[in-house]
Amino acid sequence: MDQNPVRMSVLGAGAIGPAAAILAASRGHDVSLWSPSGRGTTGIAGTLTAEGALDCTVPVRVADSLAEALEGAEVALLTVPAYALADLLPRIAAAAPRGLPMLIAPAAALAPLAFETMRGALGPRAPVGAMATTPMTARRIAPDRVRIPGIRAAVDVAAVPASAAAEIAVLAAALFGRDYPLAPNVLQPALANANPIIHAVLALANATRIERGEAWSQYELMTEASCRLMTRLEAERGAVAAAFGLEVLPLAESLHRASGVPRGPLHAMGQAIAATGRGVAGPSSMETRYVTEDVPYGLAFYLWLAAARSIAMPGTEATVTLLETLWHRDLRGNPLLAALEGQDLVSMLRDGIGRGA
């Protein structure tokens, strides 16, 4: 597909959406960018510029509406904060042509399966792709400019139905390059993202810094003590994955893929990332996605899965409870899971819904 440009629509214009648009356009694809609120594309006048791991300026079309974004698209990438999915998925499900493959990155809390339930009446249709995380890390530094600290060496992908994973991997590789290992089903990518564990522990350990708006370095503060808690949560996540017949990447492997530093103890990897100069600042506001997104759609999602298989997760349960106390809010509500309650999850993961010929 590298020799055959693809018409791609990127749905979401925070930092990752524009970065993904730039990466795909730099590889010769025809890309449009749509912002659900309209604010994310304000100030973009036909081009986007990247600096860092990718240094280029590329043409990108701005779509003023969802219908315009989807018109003529051959593939779409949905990349928005997980908390936006509950409102956005029904809109896309109603508007997207049945033959349009949809990639969701990251595929938080079984978002691809929730999307599948909304389109079950369509019959045969294109697969829904799940990416464990985003193809790159990115920060928006101006309306038409993003900084890309790194492009991930590999991102696990899966699909609904599960048999379409290879098709999704080919699409992702054509759009973004790099490696896209196949996962057995979309639950694996939903569990594989390292951010919920790393971010939740860092938020818990640095709650007063966040509350006071202090500046702090995320990777420098991956201390031995905080990494012990990460390792505990990692083991509990692994037990949930095993109950569904899955394995997920170790946190160390996820950090290696994202940063390129050698694998090792988590705290040593954190220090190594900080030493490269590619470290990132920790959050300085209580309205941080490290808590508002990564807990409901990460740790609390793990607890939902664990309850279905009667698996105890005391470390994860305690972490969520402490963060709820510190942040003084419910962090367990996840509307994406409502349609999946009481369903045969294993069958849905394998076959999807209503896809008979």
CATH assignment of the domain containing 246: 1.10.1040.10
User: Which of 190, 225, 243 represents a domain boundary (last residue)?
Assistant: 190
Is residue 2 one of the residues assigned to a domain?
Answer: no
Q: Are residues 217 and 158 in the same domain?
A: no
Say what the pLDDT of residue 138 is.
Answer: 94
Q: Are residues 40 and 168 in the same domain?
A: yes
Q: Are residues 174 and 200 in the same domain?
A: no
Is residue 352 one of the residues assigned to a domain?
Answer: no
Is residue 346 one of the residues assigned to a domain?
Answer: no
Which range of residues forms the domain containing residue 78? 7-190
User: Which of 158, 190, 222 represents a domain boundary (last residue)?
Assistant: 190
Say what the pLDDT of residue 2 is.
Answer: 46
Q: Are residues 30 and 146 in the same domain?
A: yes
Mean pLDDT per 10-residue section of the chain, whose length is 357 residues: 81 97 97 97 96 96 97 97 94 96 95 94 95 94 95 94 97 95 95 95 98 96 98 98 95 91 96 86 95 96 96 98 98 90 90 85
Query: What is the domain count for the chain?
Result: 2
Q: Are residues 216 and 334 in the same domain?
A: yes
Q: Are residues 15 and 114 in the same domain?
A: yes
Q: Are residues 242 and 303 in the same domain?
A: yes
CATH number at residue 96: 3.40.50.720
Residue reference for tokens 């105890």: 312
pTM of the model: 0.90
Say what the pLDDT of residue 316 is.
Answer: 98
Is residue 162 one of the residues assigned to a domain?
Answer: yes
